[in-house]
């Protein structure tokens, strides 16, 4: 089925454009917000050539397409008048929204705010890992200008993460996105970061300010943008048009930044640290059990499209602990799905199944598992059971090896460099240098300090 034909068939069987509130897409799914989900023909859509499956979760009607989801999305948006990713996407009607529980609303917010940034963050994470890899194999030195440039362009996305989050959060809260980015910039301003690092006491007109390091943080800037959005909407209704363009941004920015710096920021930073310690505490209580459970059941969470809700936890671990053992477990489940699809590709005699399995295995190898899950595992129950077992065993092995990820990035084969500890590289390099001097120069050093 051609892309345009598939787009038409999806819209027709979903209830037409009059049944669609909005449409966005992620890596593999078209995510519709429908006025009435009962009008959608689930079985018909699921059986369309080019559609892998249909999932209803998080207040969304999700049509799983696979790797060409962007092409189908463009085909729909070019032909039909639907609010999409670049528009001010409406929420559901108030009646429908009230039916959503708090968790679903939280998932919706995270998807909307963090989802558009995943590509650039994953790219930065991969580049950061490759920089560490090049250093470990002595292609570049950590004192060279090449290292400095690579580290700067890869770490910048994480260091200035509040700027990206502020811009994206402002779009979600339907506020001025440039003020949102400005709030992120203010939280990352070098003078405040240096004052925090130096332990300097500060006050604002006599009000004590408890400083925190907001670089790479997530929640403080979301709170600041939320305050700013509320203020901006109120002022737009009550301020005269003649002074609105100056007064509204000015007051909205101040209302967003000052309470965050003085009150909410330190609290949210502390909560973030507490969350990381809590997650790590649960992990440390029974690491192998955690590895088995997470490794076995993570793909179930992916099936329901709720994996985006875990992104703040994983990113929070990286920014507060500088490593994350949880994502180190979750990443291996990708290869369990790849193995299941690869096995079907090797064994199947049917051309269509073989083609789907081959494409799904390659997609999982690159880190995207939905084609393998919906195209293979759910259709062959024994395969799905084996991927459960494989993921659980893989998760247990990762915990026994005390595996950690030191950056947030892509899954699949591209996750490899993210397991390299940049600090350990310096120690290993120092050990290598001392050992070489010991052999070549007969210069005796206490090598134990490098162990």
Q: What is the pLDDT of residue 410?
A: 67
| pLDDT computed for residue 427 by the predictor | 45
Give the domain ranges of the chain: 3-97, 160-284, 287-423
Rounded-to-integer distance, Cα 406 and Cα 328, Å: 9
- Computed on alpha carbons and rounded to an integer, the radius of gyration of the chain in Å comes to 25
At CB < 8 A and 24+ separation, what contacts does 226-229 make?
226/169, 226/173, 227/255, 227/256, 227/259, 227/260, 228/170, 228/175, 228/176, 228/179, 228/180, 228/183, 228/252, 228/253, 228/255, 228/256, 229/170, 229/173, 229/174, 229/175
Q: Identify the segments of the chain with pLDDT beneath 50.
A: 88-98, 426-451
Q: Is 26 an active-site residue?
A: yes
* Catalytic residue selected from 26, 188, 437, 441: 26
Query: Which CATH architecture best describes the domain 3-97?
Result: 2-Layer Sandwich (3.30)
Distance CA 272, CA 179 (A): 24
pLDDT at position 442, please?
Answer: 43
pLDDT at 100: 57
Count Cβ neighbours within 10 Å for each residue of 381-417 and write b for 16 or more, e otherwise: eebbebbbebbbbbbbebbeeebbbbbbbbbbebbeb
Element (H, E) at 203: strand 202-204
pLDDT, residue 349, reads 86
The predicted structure's pLDDT at residue 121: 77
Residue 96 to residues 21, 36, 92, 103, Cα–Cα distance (Å): 12, 9, 6, 15
Torsion region of 256: left, alpha or beta (phi above 0 gives left; psi -120 to 50 gives alpha): alpha
Which pLDDT value is given to residue 12?
A: 92
Please report the pLDDT score of residue 306 as a whole number. Answer: 62
- Looking at residue 208, its pLDDT comes to 82
Model pLDDT, residue 308: 64
Q: Rounded to an integer, what distance in angstroms lies between the CA atom of residue 233 and that of residue 255?
A: 12
């Amino acid at each position: 089925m051609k892309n345009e034909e598939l787009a038409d068939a999806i819209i027709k069987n979903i209830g037409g454009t009059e049944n669609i509130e909005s449409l966005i897409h992620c890596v593999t799914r078209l995510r519709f917000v429908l006025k009435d989900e009962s009008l959608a023909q689930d079985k018909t859509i699921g059986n369309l050539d080019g559609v892998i499956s249909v999932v209803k979760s998080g207040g969304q009607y999700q049509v799983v397409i696979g790797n060409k989801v962007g092409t189908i999305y463009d085909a729909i948006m070019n032909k039909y008048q639907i609010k999409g990713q670049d528009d001010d996407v409406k929420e559901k009607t108030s009646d429908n929204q009230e039916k959503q529980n708090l968790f679903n609303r939280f998932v919706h917010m995270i998807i909307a705010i963090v989802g558009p940034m995943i590509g650039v963050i994953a790219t930065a994470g991969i580049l950061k890992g490759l920089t560490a890899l090049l250093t470990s194999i002595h292609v570049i030195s950590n004192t060279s200008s090449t290292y400095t440039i690579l580290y700067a362009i890869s770490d910048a996305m994480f260091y200035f993460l509040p700027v990206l989050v502020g811009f994206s959060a402002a779009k979600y809260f339907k506020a001025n996105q440039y003020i949102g980015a400005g709030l992120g910039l203010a939280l990352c301003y070098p003078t405040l970061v240096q004052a925090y690092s130096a332990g300097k006491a500060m006050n604002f007109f006599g009000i004590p300010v408890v400083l925190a390091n907001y670089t790479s943080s997530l929640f403080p800037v979301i709170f600041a943008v939320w305050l700013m959005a509320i203020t901006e909407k109120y002022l737009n209704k009550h301020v005269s048009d003649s002074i609105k363009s100056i007064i509204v941004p000015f007051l909205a920015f101040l209302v967003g930044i000052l309470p965050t710096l003085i009150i909410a920021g330190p609290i949210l930073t502390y909560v973030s640290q507490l969350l990381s310690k809590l997650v790590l505490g649960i992990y440390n209580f029974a690491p192998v059990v955690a590895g088995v459970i997470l490794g076995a059941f993570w793909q179930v969470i992916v099936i329901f499209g709720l994996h985006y809700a875990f992104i703040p936890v994983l990113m929070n671990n990286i920014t507060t602990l500088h490593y994350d053992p949880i994502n180190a477990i979750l990443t291996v489940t990708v290869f369990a799905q790849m193995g299941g699809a690869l096995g079907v590709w090797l064994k199947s005699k049917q051309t269509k199944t073989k083609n789907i399995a081959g494409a799904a295995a390659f997609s999982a190898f690159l880190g995207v598992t939905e084609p393998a899950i919906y195209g293979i595992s759910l259709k062959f129950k024994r395969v799905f059971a084996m991927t459960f077992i494989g993921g659980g065993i893989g998760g247990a092995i990762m915990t026994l090896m005390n595996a950690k990820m030191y950056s947030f990035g892509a899954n699949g084969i591209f996750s490899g460099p993210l397991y390299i500890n940049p600090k350990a590289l310096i120690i290993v390099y120092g050990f290598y240098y001392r050992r070489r001097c010991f052999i070549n120069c007969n210069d005796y050093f206490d090598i134990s300090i490098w162990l």
